[in-house]
Each structure stands twice: as C-alpha cells, then as structure tokens.
Structure 1
Amino acid sequence: MAASSAPSANFRTWPIVLLLTLLSLPLVVMYIYLFVDTVTDSSTGSLIPDTFTLSHWDFLWHTKVGKPSVWVVLVNTLLFATSTTTVVLLISSMVGYALSRLNVPGRSVLLAGVMVMHAFPSVTLLIAIFVVLQMVGLYNTLIGVILVKAALDLPLGIWLMKGFYDTVPWEIEMAGITDGASRFTVWRRLVLPQVFPALAALGLFAFLSGWSEFILPRVLAPGNNVQVFSVYLASLIADDNNFDLSMFKAVGVFYAIPVIVLFVLFQRHLMNIYGGGTKG
C-alpha cells in the first residue's frame, strides 16, 4: 500500500518539465518566426506575413555583387571546420594516450603548460600569429587559419582525451601485449574503441568551434576566395548601402542548418561524454 501511494517519478518531475517548456517557448517561437520571415513578406509596420516569397533566398542561385558565391563560402567553411577537427582528433588522441600511459619525462610540467596555453584567449595572440603567418607565407590562406585554430583547440582536446584514457583498465592493454600485439595496435584496436564517446564529443566540439569561428578567419584570411560563413555574414552587415535584413536572416538560417542537424544526430554522444571510458 505504501508503494502504491508513493508518487511516480513522472508525476514528481512534471513541474520541472513544465517550467523548462515555458522558459523555452519564447525561444522556439522566435526561431519559428525567424524562419517564416525568410520565406514571406509583410506590409510596412506589420508583424504578420501576408505574401510567400523565395526572393530572400536568391543568394543560393545569384552571387551578390562584390561578394563571393555562397557555395564557395560553404566549401571554405566545411573545409576549415573538418580540417581543424581532423587535426585536433588525430593529435589529441595520440598525445593524450602518451601522457596517460607512457612515462614521459616532465609529464607534469607538460600538462601544466598545456593548461596555461589554453588559458590565453586567442585574441591576445593575434598580432604575433599575424606576423608569423606573414613570415611563412600562410597569411590569407585557409591552411594557415586551420593550423592556428587547431593549435588553439589542442589543449582542451589533449586534457579531455587524457582523462578518458585514465579510465581505461590496464588489463586490456596487457592482454593485447601478451598476445604479441604492438603498442600501436593495442592503442588503435583495443584502447580507442573504449574512448569512442570522448572522440565523438571532441570531434563535435571541434567542428562546431571551427564552424562558428569568426575572429581568426576575419583577421588572418580576409580575402573573398577564402572567406567563411561567419565573415560572410559580417560583411553583409557592413554593407550599409545594400543591406537586406531579410536576406541576412535567410543566410543566418542557412548557416545554422548544419549545426542543428549535427546536434540532433550526435546529441547522445554529447551526453555520453560525462560517463568516461568503458571499464571492464
């Protein structure tokens, strides 16, 4: 009788769900109206749309005067984000393993140095990075910005991967080494699958960070042929003579679509990052 009279878990949590729903409702309405506003027109002074139109999306098939093609910008942004993600995942997964498992001389000093590097905001290093890229001939190139962005994201990736490697039992590696596998084979076939949630989350974080990056491409790669979406959006705002607010909203929606799709597909991995590696 006592068990039957106790309130269920769903009954106890519905006030929290209701509160979160009410708090989120204005944001949902705002985003819905933002999308509707990109495919409609309304009379002057009216907030209610009265005409359906796709003219605000004509940037997809017409290149704006003085601006690069939006498809070139899309390719540049994808190349920038995916290349940064690849570099961060590759180096972080190896360095994190070395710091977790190998007796590296000065390991504590190296870890402290990595944290200090992560503490510096990227904007404080812009002048030095600008000079270095000019000296090596990588200014106004995507490869230069990719290398800089990956270097700035690596400290977080190294610390994250080291923490996950620390949770993987030694017995898994000892079993592989006993069977004659090399250290590299043990790492690739036995250890990496144990930390897949961290790899997935780190890859998603690195991609979204590269996708939304503005200050580095704006300063280090300002040319139209290497422009990314964040810089493209800023250039639309700066164009006072031909500013089109509706087209600006449409470009913003187009810019946000990949982020929304990625979150929907990989949100489970983002939640699993708090669980650490797989033990046993």
Structure 2
Amino acid sequence: MKAYIRRALVAGLLVGGLAGGAAAQRPLVQQFAGSLVLLTSGDTLRGPLTLYTDRDLLLVQQPDQTIRTVAAGAVAAFAVRGEQARPGDYFEQTQLLPEPRRSAYSGGGPGAVLPPRRPPLPEGATRVFRCFRWNRGYEYADYRSPAFFEQLSAGPVLLLRRQSLVERPVAATDPMFLSAYPAGGLPRGTVGYYITARSAFFLGTPEGEVVALRNPRRHLLAYFRAEAGQLEQYARQHRLSFQDSGDLARLVTYANALRTGQAP
C-alpha cells in the first residue's frame, strides 16, 4: 500500500498544475524492445518500436540506428515484446466502470475501494496489434481512418482494445492515507494523482468492421444474439466478468466456437 501512496504522490508532483478533483487525459506512448511490423506493401520492419496510440503512429529503430516513422495506413499488423513502463504497471479500468472492489488493507473502513489492477503479462510475452479503418467513435460518420487496435482473442470475430492514460486525483481524506498517517498529518485537498490505463473494447468482424463495446456485456450479447443465452451461462459457470480484458477474451473465444459449431 505504501508503494501505491508513493506512486500517487510522485504523480502529484509531476502533474501538480492540474485542477483538484478533475481527471485529465494524457497521451499513451508505449515503448517495446523488439517488434516485427508487416507493411501493407508486403515489406517488413524489425527493431525497437515506439507506439503513439493517440496519433496511430509507429517509430521503428533500424539496424543502422535511424528511425523509420510509419503511419497506421501503411501497416497491416505488428507484433511487439519487451514493453517498458507498460500501462499494466498502472491501475486498469474499462470504459464502463465495474462495481467497486473492496480494499484488502486494514483501517480503510467499510466504504474503502481501490481501482482494479491488471495482472502483469508474462515476461517476454508477445502482443499483436492490427490496423482497422475506424470512425473514431462517431457512429454516423462516413469517413473511417486507419487506427491501431490490440488483438486480445482469436477469430473469426476478434476482441480488440485501445488504451489511454487518465490521471485522477487523490484527496488527503482518502481512507488509504488515513490508515497510513496519523490524523492531521496530511494537508487538506488533493495531495496527488494516480494513473489509470483506461481500456475501450471493440469487436473486429470478418468483414473488417469495428464494433464498439461501450457496454461490454450488453453489446457483446447483442452482437452474438443467437448465442447470448449460452454465453451468459458460460460466464456464470466460470465466474467471468464482462469488464475484465482476460475474461472478455475468453467469452469472445467461446462465442466464436458456438457460432462455428466447435464448442464442446
């Protein structure tokens, strides 16, 4: 818990100019030690990679130490490994917040809650990103531009994810501070910020369309309408959450198996 407090205080020093009580979006920049990038031309690039999610842009370091800049429109897919300071080191939340989880630390009181935390990926795990043409959330827009999505499940219907970082304030009256410091030991008001990696989920269809899962449970069941009853039963049986990225990937995989007649 002290590590969490230190992270919040350090973040507060870095973003102390933010207004108290407000959440602020910040660009998500991810760096990877190795990558394989498949271009739409059929060529491939390899090397350390930086992903700018908000701009859908890749920077790939070449063997001669030069940097190749590649926009999403020129990329079919890419695989990466060895992420540095990945969003999984922060607290993860989905676009639709799940029910509050009771904290395990003592002294927080019955109403104390902590943001859900994503377990770290295995060391050396490979992550795959694909490029889809997307309307950027404007449902009635005719224009769709290329954008990167992380692939979380196998197909034919893919579970996709985009992430962004959000800074949220921590007040001195928060139970986690009250349990760690004596009364009156902290100033009033906002004392720092913690950073969450916000996940927005989508489905990638075999036709190349992107379907937003703004409410993952409702929209996933609506897409797999014929399989919805079995899907809900499977989620209850295995205690799977429609808000957790790993559980949601299992649900999409099972829905695919039901639709293709391969489910046990």
Q: Which one scores higher on RCO, CA 8 angstroms, separation ≥ 6?
A: 1
Where on the TM-score scale, by shorter chain, does this alignment land: which range? under 0.3
Q: Which structure carries more strand by proportion?
A: 2
Pick the structure with more helix per residue: 1
TM-score, normalised via structure 2 length: 0.25
**TM-score, normalisation: structure 1:** 0.24
